[in-house]
Structure 1
Amino acid sequence: MNWKHGAIIALAVTTATMPAIAQAPIRTERVQFARGATSATVRGAVRGYDTVDYVVRARAGQAMSVSLQTSSTSAYFNILPPRSEEAIFNGSINGANFSGRLKDSGDYRVRVYLMRNAARRGERATFSLTIGVNARPGNIGAAPGPIGSGAPIPAGNRVAYCRGEALQQYGVRPNYIRTSPAIANATGIIIDGTADQGRNGIKRFRCRFDTRGRFIDVMAMTRDGF
């Protein structure tokens, strides 16, 4: 084999093993606030490996809030600061709401995407994304959390309810589910846990309830989703 053939084969192997997400172009949209407004809501959809960056210009010291409502439990957003690809917020780990003070001035990107497991299946998610930027950080509150459905689950039953929902989602026996105590925060109630799927590994998840105790979803906390 001569060096040209070797180079061609090496290139083919490299291309075949690249993550599919790297081959999907990122769509960019700039978010403009109406005159006098400090927030805006955009609506859209992503399918498969689609990725959308919503760009917002802000100054150091301002406060930003971002809230995502979506039809899919596998859709999330990250926040990337100016001139950097290192996210300051990772929705697949931190949830669907962000509120914090900004350290740098420039264009911030709110990146909406699907987790790899859903992207591989070509799933589609519609979403509503609300972005707020306030000149005085002290005046901005935490972004409202998502709202659950059905009747509120009594506090003493939430862990058991979470385990039941996780059993259905991960398809394992009851003794392969582990959960931690419920924790209340500003946007609702969370219960973290793990599902042992044997050869597929241990999957971390989070059960979410709203502030009234209504169940929202079981959110995958591992990067490969389910």
Structure 2
Amino acid sequence: MLKTAAFRWGAALALFAATAYASDKVTSVPVHFAKGTSSASMKGSFSGYDSVEYALGAKSGQTLTVKIAGNSNANFNVFAPGDKPGAATAIGSGSVGADWSGPLPKSGDYTIQVFQMRASARRAEAVPYTISFEVR
């Protein structure tokens, strides 16, 4: 009887954890530069464990600069083509007041993931931000 109750309790916790993870929303946004320009700025917002992933096409050898402004909880990671957040190491990262700039190792679509750290995500804080991209 005690083993059955412990099993049910464990199963309920596992189901709750899976449901909480499945509810994290990832919004995908393509980045397009206006004709004749090499930069773009976009506004966004998310809360809790949600995140936003920007897809930006660039060529090997170009330099990408990413800046984020707004809520101090806004952070970002930059992933090379074919690499995904949670499955690969970011080639760069930054936050409000800490821009990132670097040469790009290969051609393709780069993913820039915008998120907040666990402490503020746990409190479901809202994070409005403006993110800027420049490719040279």
Match of 2:121 in 1: 119
Match of 2:75 in 1: 76
Match of 2:90 in 1: 87
Higher fraction of strand: 2
Counterpart amino acid of residue 78 in structure 2 = I
Change (3 A) 1:20 1:78: farther
Aligned-partner SS, 1:119: helix
Alignment of 1:14-163 (within 5 A): 14-17=14-17, 20=20, 23-70=23-70, 72-84=71-83, 85-91=88-94, 96-134=98-136
Cα deviation for residue 16 of structure 1 reads 3.5
Report if aligned partners of 1:65, 1:132 keep a CA contact under 8 Å in 2: yes
Q: What are structure 2's unaligned runs of at least 5 residues?
A: none
Task: State the alpha-carbon separation in 2 of the partners of residues 11 and 57 from structure 1.
Answer: 43
Report if aligned partners of 2:93, 2:100 keep a CA contact under 8 Å in 1: no
- Give aligned-pair identity as a percent: 35
Deviations 1:177-207 (A, max 9, x none): xxxxxxxxxxxxxxxxxxxxxxxxxxxxxxx
Report if aligned partners of 1:48, 1:121 keep a CA contact under 8 Å in 2: yes
Larger-gyration structure (1/2)? 1
- Alignment size in residue pairs: 128
Aligned-partner SS, 1:125: strand
Change (3 A) 1:25 1:100: same
Change (3 A) 1:47 1:34: same
Change (3 A) 1:15 1:90: farther
Cα deviation for residue 67 of structure 1 reads 0.5
Aligned-partner SS, 2:81: coil
Counterpart amino acid of residue 90 in structure 2 = A
Cα deviation for residue 7 of structure 1 reads 8.8
